[in-house]
Amino acid sequence: MVRIGFVSMAHMHAFSYAAVLQSMSSATLTGIYDPDSERGQQAAEQFQTEYHAELEPLLERCDAVIICSENSLHKQYTLAAAEVGCHVLCEKPIATTEEDALEMIHACDTAGVKLEIAFPCRFATPVQQAKQLLDQGILGEILCIKGTNHGQMPGGWFTDRSLSGGGAVMDHTVHVVDLIRWFFGREIKTMYAEVDTMLYDVDIDDCGMLSMEFEGGMFATQDPSWSRPRTFPAWGDVLLEIIGTKGTMQIDAFAQALTVYDDSEKHVSHHSWADNMDALLVEHFLSVVREDKDPMITGYDGLQALRAALAAYRSSEEGAPVPVRR
């Protein structure tokens, strides 16, 4: 039985992960720490576990933690977990600065604990099937990729740069970049991006357009905007179109769903029949802890996705392509 604790419920995915854990017989939700006592106590009541006003007592009772705090606090909590030997599943992005990400990776390596980054899109059935086909070389040499991750504007701390590290580009670039790196094992060489605030009255970016050159001459574009309305049924619409010398492939991570238009009720409803990618992510992390194996999504994967987002901001500020560190 793996004992799991939650460190902050600030990120909306925390509630999905907690619901998954509550249904598992192979893990127990030991407790929740949250500096926001009202939020933490409400979550603890919802998931029938104990609320901790301090972090240390929770860590002492856990084999691993899931960190769903504001982005800028990921390092602080990861280092505290590593110090007492707790494995970490950290919500994306890994951190808000490259220095913080490197410190997190080093601390977990030194302590001998696992660090996995929450990129659940890797576990979506359409994405898994695409990976299998791409590994077979079905498209030949890959020439270019068009990617999008349009989502709702989340509001709250996501629009506070000191807590989030950036807006839509920080929030949504990392998912698509992670998938491309995972599909092809290539790193980004240069980034050109235009980042702006055009959709909402917020003091942070809500849209952007990225152009990336990868190793081997492959290039990709991505639109990571907060352009979906409040009524949009999912947190994103992760789409990829991949063009190779032998064909093209279109991937929709959220394609396993049915939209029903009911004129009699004057109502539109969305019904997903997809596998729960959050559940598959949590199940994988638990297997990493139980079996002492390497995580599928490493701290380095999180670092490289973060470097892409940071390079996009840097490129937009400079008005020119910039190199992306590897």
CATH number of the domain at 14, please. Answer: 3.40.50.720
Domain count, the chain: 2
**Low pLDDT (below 50) residues in the chain:** none
Report the pLDDT value the prediction gives residue 133, as an integer from 0 to 100. Answer: 97
Q: 130 and 103: one domain?
A: no
323 strand-pairing partners: 190
Q: 245 and 103: one domain?
A: no
CATH number of the domain at 159, please. Answer: 3.30.360.10
Half-sphere exposure of 245 (CA within 13 A, CB side): 5
Picking from 119, 242, 263, 237, the residue whose alpha carbon sits closest to that of residue 178 is 119
Q: 139 and 268: one domain?
A: yes
pTM (2 d.p.)? 0.94
Q: Would you give the DSSP letter of residue 26?
A: S
Identify the domain containing residue 74 by its residue range. 2-118
Report the pLDDT value the prediction gives residue 206, as an integer from 0 to 100. Answer: 97
40 to 33, 36, 59, 68: CA distances (angstroms): 6, 6, 15, 12
Q: 111 and 197: one domain?
A: no
Q: 22 and 99: one domain?
A: yes
Report the pLDDT value the prediction gives residue 273, as an integer from 0 to 100. Answer: 67
Choose the final residue of a domain: 118, 153, 180.
118
Instruction: Tell how strand 267-272 and strand 257-262 pair up.
Output: antiparallel
Is residue 52 a part of any domain in this protein?
yes
Q: How far apart are CA 13 and CA 314, in angstroms?
A: 28
The residue type found at 83 is E
